[in-house]
Structures are given as structure tokens and as C-alpha cells.
A and B are shown apart, each in its own frame.
Chain A
């Protein structure tokens, strides 16, 4: 294969996953938490596709496409929650959203 080995792609995926985890943990805005979650999902996708290329196995790419569908579903529900929160004039701060009762 031309270019870097699979290990380099896995290193980028690990760093991206760490950045996403950092964002999920330290940010308080619900929207930015969702965006950081996307970063983590994409890091997983990069690792899946790199290993799919490495082992010459298409299952990794199929799984990455399934992860994209799950990410789209998660964004759909998550943004629906954000809109519902906004309509009820609730804060979007994840620290203050500590009870499930509407």
C-alpha cells in the first residue's frame, strides 16, 4: 500500500476519539456535546475502514455505513430533544438538565 501503514490511521483515530471524549466530558452546551459525539463516531469509522483495508475485508466498510445510519438517528433524536427543550424555555446546559421530569 502506498503511504502510511494502518497503524498511523489507527493513531489518528485514537487521537480523534480522545478529542471527542474530551468535548463530551467538558462542554456544557448540549449541541456541542452532540457535535463531539459525532467526532467519536467518526473516529470509530476511521478505525473500521483502516482495518477493513488492512485485512481486505468488506465487513468493516459495511459496519462503518451502519454507524453512519446510527449517527443520523442519534442526531435526529438529539436535535429533537434540543428543539423540545428550547420550546419549553429550558436551559441547554447539561449540568442543569438533571431531572427527566418535563
Chain B
């Protein structure tokens, strides 16, 4: 009886954390899209990534949550902020000049995509998402992830490193000062 009460209290707590994380995730996502200053958009992305990391923790994916904060909030967003500061303020219209046909069409396309995702996932997974499996204590820990990564998915791991190397070389070439004679 006591254990049941405790489990129920834990459930309520997890629900509260989830609702806060989901709302801040969606609100900061909207902020990224709607802020006219790209600097504020990048700062809003940090909030989005942090709330996503909270949801990863609720899904007992601790290593991915840590990697999310380190790689995204620590590296990617900082690089964004550096480039935004380097490029400086631009005198451009942030929006497509009022609600023109382009904006309306884009909003309609995004809405259609959202409906399509919901319908496709709902039809494919109706019913099968109800049963939850209990996971062990090792689920999501770095040791567990590392074993899967380096035993089952070694080729994907190596290809990822090649992709990162190619991207780094491409970034250096794009950023180098040598200018081809036009």
C-alpha cells in the first residue's frame, strides 16, 4: 500500500516535469522561428535543447541527454552565436514582407506535413504504443551505449567519424581566405 502511494506520487511528479519540459520545448521552438533577431533565436534554441534533454532523462537516456547538452548547447549553439556576432546586424526584412502568397503557402505546407506525420504515425502505431516495457538499470548508461555502438554498430560509428572529418575539411575550405580569380 505504501509502495503504491509512493509510485503514484512519483508518477504525478514525472507528469509535472514532463508537462513543463514539453511546454518550454514547444514555446522555445516557436520563439526560434518567430524572433526577428537571429541572436535571440539562437538563445531560444538553447532553451529548446535543454528542455529536450530533460525529456531524454525522463526516457532514461542519460548518455544522450549529456551528449545533447555538450554537443548542441555547448558547441553548436556557441558556434552559431559566434557567426551571428561575426556577420553583424543586417538590415533585412525578417519576414517575407507581410503575409504574401509565399508565407501562406509555406504555413499551409508545414501544417500539411504536421497532419501527415500525425496520421501516418497514428495509423501505423495505433494500439501498439500502449504497452510499456520496463527497462533495467543499465538502459541508457554510457557503458551500455558504448557496447552497442562499438559491437553492433561499428560501421555506423566509423562512417560518422568520416562524415565529421569531411565536414571539417569542407568548413576549412569554405572559410579559407584564398579567393579564386573570377
Contact = CB atoms under 8 A, between A and B. Distances in A.
Interface of A: 1-12, 14-23, 25-29, 31-32, 34-36, 38-39, 42, 45-46, 49-50, 52-56, 58-59, 61-66, 68-77, 79-84, 86, 91-93, 95, 102
A80 B174 CA distance: 5
7 closest residue pairs by CB, A with B: A73-B167, A80-B174, A3-B14, A25-B106, A18-B114, A23-B33, A22-B110
A75 B174 contact: no
Given A18-B110, A18-B114, A32-B41, A46 B29 contact: no
Interface residues on B, range: 35 or more
Interface string B108-135: 0111011001100100010001101111
A63 B18 CA distance: 23
Nearest to A23: B33
Contacts of A2: 7, 10-11, 14
Centre residue among A3, A7, A55, A73 by max chain B CB count within 10 A: A3
Nearest to A79: B83
Contacts of B153: 59, 62
A35 B45 contact: yes
B52 A3 contact: no
Contacts of A25: 106-107, 109-110
Contact of A16 (B25, B83, B103, B171): B25
B175 interface: yes
Main secondary structure of the interface of B (DSSP, over half): helix
A21 B71 contact: no
Interface in B128-179: 129-130, 132-135, 139-140, 144-145, 148-149, 152-153, 156, 160, 163-164, 166-168, 170-175
A93 B93 CA distance: 9
A63 B67 CA distance: 13
Given A7-B125, A75-B79, 9 more contacts: A5-B129, A28-B93, A35-B45, A38-B45, A42-B49, A46-B52, A61-B140, A77-B171, A79-B171
B32 A36 contact: yes
A22 to B, nearest CB: 4
Contact of B109 (A21, A49, A74): A21
